[in-house]
Amino acid sequence: MKKILLVGESWVSNATHYKGWDQFSSTTFHLGAEKLIESIDSSQFQIEYMTSHEASEKFPCKMSDLQKYSSIILSDIGSNTILLHPKVWIEGETYVNRLKLIKDYVNLGGSFLMVGGYLSFQGINGSARYKGTAIEEILPIDIHPYDDRIEVPEGFNVTIKNEDHEILNGLSGIWPPLLGLNEVVPSKESQTIISTPESFGSHPLLVVGSYGSGKTMAWTSDIGPHWVSKEFLSWKGYSILWNQILAWLVGENY
């Protein structure tokens, strides 16, 4: 069984409620990867789900700890959370650059996937800030230096660029709609497997590549709402797609 570390996909929301003269506040906690985890074949993959608020302190700081995993996935979590351990942010101490540690991990044969979202790639208002980092160096795409979200509320159906790729086995026909993605540019050595239609700019959606002895992937839409529509989540191909994405990431062959 292959062990995979999924980092991010959680958030805290704070709301103020006004009722006439009176008001009160409420705070709620949300998880965004539950549907994905439910869909994964647990006989093949063991996913460790590290939420965003845990990652600043708990994301591994040693290569030996990273190498316990066959793949690392960052999903909707900004670079600051990985860069700023409490020892740096609160105590002003030096600490290992964990983005560079991920780069070294892939160079030595690990695999890495970045999933799109409001705090992926460059993100909303540019606040994810992966442009110019070690993560951009290993990804099979180049990141724009600005807010890179593309919102498609009317939805789009994907265009298959390489129907023979193993990730797409059993996924023929028209896919349900997606509602948005991050805009990126494929690097020269990469392979774009899926994109948006030409009428929506032919933007890369699933791109694979390699770095050193390892392999990397970018999925530029989300793994759940809002960019992944209800129809896409309930589609039987959702589970097939993500199990085959993970199989490619942890497999021996390129």
Q: What's the pLDDT tens digit per position in 42-67?
A: 999 999 999 999 999 999 999 999 99
For the chain, percent of residues with pLDDT exceeding 70: 99
Where is pLDDT greater, at 94 or 252?
Answer: 94
The answer to whether residues 110 and 68 touch, using CB atoms and an 8 Å cutoff, is no
Q: What's the pLDDT tens digit per position in 103-133?
A: 999 999 999 999 999 999 999 999 999 999 9
CA distance 139 to 79: 14
pLDDT for 3? 97
User: DSSP assignment, residue 47?
Assistant: E
- What are the sequence ranges of the domains in the chain? 2-9+31-250
CA distance 202 to 181: 12
CATH topology of domain 2-9+31-250: Rossmann fold (3.40.50)
Segment 188-205 shows an average pLDDT of: 96
Q: What is the pTM of this model?
A: 0.95
- Beta-carbon neighbour count of residue 3 at 10 Å? 13
CA geometry: angle at 120 spanning 3 and 93, to 5°? 80
CA distance 9 to 31: 6
* Closest to 206 in 3D by CA, of 136, 138, 116: 116
Q: What's the pLDDT tens digit per position in 198-216?
A: 999 999 999 999 999 999 9
DSSP 162-215: -TTSGGGTT--SPPPPEEEEE-EEE-TT-EEEEE--GGGT--EEEEEEEETTEE
Hey, what's the torsion of the CAs at 155, 197, 162, 183, to 10 degrees? -80
User: DSSP assignment, residue 19?
Assistant: E
Please, which pLDDT band fits residue 172 given cuts at 50, 70 and 90? confident
Where is pLDDT greater, at 1 or 71?
Answer: 71
pLDDT for 254? 39
- If DSSP codes are grouped into helix, strand and coil, which group holds residue 218? strand
CA distance 233 to 72: 23
- Evaluate if residue 81 carries a pLDDT over 70: yes
- Evaluate if residue 252 carries a pLDDT over 80: no
